[in-house]
A and B are shown apart, each in its own frame.
With several copies, the nearest count.
Chain A
């Protein structure tokens, strides 16, 4: 089980802000494998998380990369470049 969050324009593109993924950790060892699974769902996900798009990913509220390992219980978030301040 892991929690996946989507923010801002990326949230609007995929149509949800939060979901629980019920999965075996072994099938999703890292951020790259999670992205592959999400993009396989439909064209909204495929386009929103395309490698050409300028999105960011955080694991447990720390900035992460494709190679970052993920585990059961983790919180993974996808979002566009930040624009606060």
Chain B
């Protein structure tokens, strides 16, 4: 069922409260190698508005242990589909104010299409399979964020490959 992480893919997965530094993560991925041709990164941030309400902050809850397992499984699947040289996934938990970073996915490959595909694939499955939950601080109180149908729809294209 579950595939192993491809031997050529250097993987770093972390779930933590602290913010991340994109330059530092990029430098760590590139350190000592000159064979990377393409790096695609995705950062998800706290928006000040969601579903019609103004948001001051949100609190991210997760399921410790399962989160890391789920992320590892998603990254392994991506590493089996495309020739990825490196993958870094950092997801923050705890209280995050508007404009704060939530998640970083960084994917390196020799060629751009593998980097783009790997990064999008990981984000798409992270959105539906990794056990994180957002609770928003709105003007009218706390509100759990509803899962979006479009996130489930987004997965369908990966079945065609």
Stretch of A5-13, A19-27, A38-46 on the interface side: A5-13
Contact B66 A8 (CB under 8 A): no
Q: How far is the CA of A49 from the CA of B13 in the complex (A)?
A: 32
**Least CB separation from B146: chain A residue:** A83
Contact A82 B102 (CB under 8 A): no
B132 at the interface (CB under 8 A from A): yes
Contact A85 B135 (CB under 8 A): no
Chain B interface, >50% SS class: mixed
Given A7-B133, A8-B135, A62-B69, A84–B63 Cβ distance below 8 Å? no
A29 at the interface (CB under 8 A from B): no
Contact B144 A9 (CB under 8 A): yes
The A44-82 residues at the B interface (CB cut-off 8 A) are 54, 58, 61-63, 77, 79-82
CB distance from A14 to the nearest CB of B (A): 14
For A9, A62, A84, which residue has the most chain B Cβ atoms within 10 angstroms? A84
**Least CB separation from A7: chain B residue:** B63
Contact B131 A58 (CB under 8 A): yes
Contact of B133 among A54, A61, A77, A80 (CB under 8 A): A80
Q: How far is the CA of A7 from the CA of B61 in the complex (A)?
A: 8
Contact A83 B147 (CB under 8 A): yes
Contact A5 B103 (CB under 8 A): no
CB distance from A62 to the nearest CB of B (A): 7
Given A7-B131, A84-B132, A58–B66 Cβ distance below 8 Å? yes
For B91, B133, B135, B144, which residue has the most chain A Cβ atoms within 10 angstroms? B133
Q: How far is the CA of A13 from the CA of B63 in the complex (A)?
A: 17
**Least CB separation from B134: chain A residue:** A83
The B16-66 residues at the A interface (CB cut-off 8 A) are 44, 60-63, 65-66
Q: Pull 18 A–B residue pairs with CB atoms less than 8 Å apart, ordered by A.
A: A7-B63, A8-B61, A8-B144, A54-B147, A58-B63, A61-B65, A61-B69, A77-B66, A79-B63, A82-B129, A82-B130, A82-B131, A82-B132, A83-B134, A83-B145, A84-B130, A85-B103, A85-B130
Q: A8-B133, A81-B128, A84-B126 are in contact. List 10 more A-B contacts (CB 8 A).
A: A8-B144, A61-B66, A80-B133, A82-B127, A82-B132, A83-B144, A83-B146, A84-B60, A84-B130, A85-B103
